[in-house]
Structure 1
């Protein structure tokens, strides 16, 4: 039986329980963001006119970058932003479609297949990876490629690089306005916010440790209000899966009020906890929905807590929600006595697919 640390207020024990340095990697998100943006804006050969759609390809920890980009810009740019997670490229894509193909390893088979499909349709493809077959394919076909630094180690720890690079590419393509100042401010904010969640910060003053302790021993359900928190809820769910090695689920308000809420009845909430991610940019009706939904699921025994984003911009607010979930997932892993960095089940799945 696994035994985790006795307390999350023992910084040395936390360090020993995190040999892969996942907490350090999570804390570097802000610096990654700035470096990634610089790499994206510096890329040569980016088409800068007549884009009719943006499609972001990617799976898992790389693909979440597309969800973040869509959350940030879908309601402010004049063309649709679509995330595509799978082997196929949407049929509407064509010569005026800007395709960002993201795979940290450069070896994700679904993303490689979709990238080839996009090229076959004549799309404007720009790839982002730390090497691998995706970088090789870009070189062979003469397409722009953003070389993501490999020091992030694993895809889910490279979110800052990937998001920053995507913002930079979209800026270079003229799809979004100049974002350098906003990114720089967000990078500074992220570093400050991460410091408040660090191992040295005691439990009573550390929201991530508190969240991990509250979740521990139960199955988390993450609800995000539409927009920024929708992407953040997906990130929380994935980080809890990969870092803490626990089942976790996510849904979006108000969509969950049309289906999920009906499932919480007759004591079905036992053994589950829900965290609602909120932000200042959400629709005014969400506040009413959250209160009513909490009352209804509470009657089913589901415990619910709310988390509110902080920050002066949309990017800062999204980063605050993401970082809180990232840190909480690692602290939950440490409480459970598991190393947050390796992903043995995912590794076995990939190995079986190869044989």
Structure 2
């Protein structure tokens, strides 16, 4: 049966697909606009606290997960709530990220923070607050994207602010990123996990990537999806498979650089699941951690897109999220 809003869904499908195929255009700090960067120089913070929710909050997870690769010299804390966290650091740098610039939780924290702080957004209330308080800012170009599709903009904007403080941060290349080459694989994965509850697992090192799979499947395809990591799940969650849960599928993110003991646990896990429930093994591909990250995000985007397409639902729309935001203003 064709839904009443079929034409609208098709338009949104096309917009969503175009955002995936053009993702490369986001992978540069030079496409953003920056203000008051000089205020970050010679500040020497002893920690970075990244505040954000939803697709914007994922950037904190990404930067924390890539901190070793990027050679960020101080601890990174992630905060996803109203206000500010209680921490023991004496001179933290707070980075507030909100794609829309109107996220209530993020704004509440910005208003309370009186020390070193900066913002990444596309405008909205957060930009006005940054301007009025003379705080450094990275401004994303107007694009018509939804926040979960703007990971490149948000990441490089945040990283440019951090790099202003720590100039020795290392940014590896990402020449191996081609969204079109992952389209077919995304379709194959979508067909393998359709109409199922999805459990996404990886190593603790790649927990941020498993979480992005989960949230993309939740928001874009509107399906139940959950993420966790090895070795922790081998001590608890793995027992759910003893009962052969129905309508469940596993997506396993495998990395050649994972600890050999973790890889061994994953191999045993695959053998235990054989002929019980569908399990799709995804080998993270890329010359470095950054390429693996972007390829994985793009692949999760394609998979979510094709699942939404198969259900004839709008991949951009998030009715319940929008209602909660409206009712809690």
Is TM-score (shorter-chain normalized) higher than 0.5? Answer: yes
How far apart are 1:77 and its partner, in Å? 3.3
How far apart are 1:319 and its partner, in Å? 1.1
Q: Aligned residue for 1:201?
A: none
Out of 156, 181, 201, the residue aligned to residue 196 of structure 1 is 181
Residue 289, structure 1, aligned to residue 281, structure 2: no
- What residue ranges of structure 1 are gaps of 5+ in the alignment? 4-12, 199-205
- In 1, distance between residues paired with 2:35 and 2:277? 46
Indicate how the Cα distance of structure 1 residues 242 and 36 shifts in structure 2: closer, same or farther if over 3 A, else same.
Answer: farther
Residue 314, structure 1, aligned to residue 289, structure 2: yes
- In 2, distance between residues paired with 1:53 and 1:286? 29
Q: Aligned residue for 2:237?
A: 260
How far apart are 1:48 and its partner, in Å? 3.4
Structure 1 counterpart SS, 2:182 = coil
Indicate how the Cα distance of structure 1 residues 17 and 304 shifts in structure 2: closer, same or farther if over 3 A, else same.
Answer: farther
| More displaced 10-residue stretch of structure 1: 281-290 or 32-41 | 32-41
Task: Provide, for residues 152-200 of structure 1, a one-character-per-residue CA deviation record: whole Å limited to 9, x for no partner.
Answer: 4211111110111122222111165243xx2xx31x432x2x02134xx
| More displaced 10-residue stretch of structure 1: 144-153 or 240-249 | 144-153
Query: For residues 276-355 of structure 1, what are the structure 2 equivalents within 5 Å?
Result: 276-298=252-274, 301-354=276-329
Q: Aligned residue for 1:82?
A: 77
Q: Aligned residue for 1:67?
A: 61
- In 2, distance between residues paired with 1:96 and 1:327? 41
Indicate how the Cα distance of structure 1 residues 50 and 37 shifts in structure 2: closer, same or farther if over 3 A, else same.
Answer: farther
Q: Aligned residue for 2:227?
A: 250
Structure 2 counterpart SS, 1:281 = coil
Structure 1 counterpart SS, 2:286 = coil
How far apart are 1:275 and its partner, in Å? 0.5
How far apart are 1:39 and its partner, in Å? 4.5
Q: Aligned residue for 2:52?
A: 58
Q: Aligned residue for 2:119?
A: 127
Structure 1 residue ranges, 4+ long, deviating more than 6 angstroms after superposition: none
Residue 101, structure 1, aligned to residue 96, structure 2: yes
Indicate how the Cα distance of structure 1 residues 231 and 129 shifts in structure 2: closer, same or farther if over 3 A, else same.
Answer: same
How far apart are 1:18 and its partner, in Å? 4.2
Q: Aligned residue for 1:226?
A: 204
How far apart are 1:50 and its partner, in Å? 2.1
- What residue ranges of structure 2 are gaps of 5+ in the alignment? none
Indicate how the Cα distance of structure 1 residues 17 and 222 shifts in structure 2: closer, same or farther if over 3 A, else same.
Answer: farther
How far apart are 1:2 and its partner, in Å? 6.5
